[in-house]
Amino acid sequence: MEKRVVKGFTLVEMAIVLVIIGIILAGVMKGRDIVRGSQVKQFSQGFAQKWMTIATTYMDKTGQALADGTANGGTAANANGYMDNLFMGTNNLTQYDEVLNATRDVGIEPCTMIKTDLANDTNNNCPNGYNVFMRNVEGETSGKSRVVVGFYAEQIGANGPFRNIVVLQNVPSDVAQGLDTLIDGQADSANGACVGIASATTEVINAANAALGTGGALTLLTSYPSANSANKYVVVGLVLDY
């Protein structure tokens, strides 16, 4: 009886297959990175940097800081040049109107400038109840997170200047790094107009992070938490020029 010879793959054929698999995987990873980069860019340009623009434009038009004193949408009786440490979580619905009315009085309409996907509140005077003080953003390891805006005045580091800051709470760490890179050119967390203020294990939408509004100098993050860190959420500060 004639024996049948079963031929396997040669080393060359196996090498070719492995190369093809590698090319496919590289393409998949590259595609994922492109999608992630696009999402971070949309969050930066359509939400984070828009609030910086609104606060800066308000100062240019009025000579006053947004959210500084009741005349500017804040809570203090009189303006003093510094934001009134407002955290715009879901327990601060009345303040939504105050801030929006202040901007509208000088021709700034956040409801048409800010891109958000949250329509969970009807007390902020935006069409269809959209909430321009919050936005969902997807983190690579944290999943979907609700980012909340705040308006604070803080000292940047032990020897740094006292500045008004647009605060973004609950930013996934990888998104915070991407945001820092887009704004400052590098994700160094402790320098430039985008800084890392604190990190947390869970997101909170009804209370400000304990690092904010203490009256002392902010101790900035030396680096952003890694993807495997338990602290998946970052409080980001967008430092204004005044």
Coil/strand/helix, residue 214: coil
Note whether residue 133 is domain-resident. Answer: yes
DSSP structural state of residue 178 = H
Coil/strand/helix, residue 121: coil
User: What residue type is 160 in one-letter code?
Assistant: G
Note whether residue 206 is domain-resident. Answer: yes
Question: Residue range 186-204: average pLDDT?
Answer: 93
Note whether residue 2 is domain-resident. Answer: no
Question: Shortest CA distance to 51 belongs to which of 115, 96, 125?
Answer: 115
Query: What is the token pair recorded at 215?
Result: 């009256």
Note whether residue 129 is domain-resident. Answer: yes
With residue 11 as reference, give the H or E element that holds it: helix 11-43
Note whether residue 5 is domain-resident. Answer: no
Coil/strand/helix, residue 201: coil
pTM of structure? 0.83
Give per-residue pLDDT as tens, 207-239: 899 999 888 899 999 999 987 889 999 999 999
pLDDT mean across residues, the chain: 86
Domain containing 166: what range?
11-239
Note whether residue 108 is domain-resident. Answer: yes
Number of folded domains that form the chain: 1
Q: What percent of the chain has pLDDT over 70?
A: 87
Note whether residue 22 is domain-resident. Answer: yes
The dihedral formed by the CA atoms of 222, 153, 122 and 41, expressed in degrees to the nearest 10: -40
With residue 169 as reference, give the H or E element that holds it: strand 162-172
Note whether residue 132 is domain-resident. Answer: yes
Whole-angstrom Cα distance, residue 192 to residue 186?
9
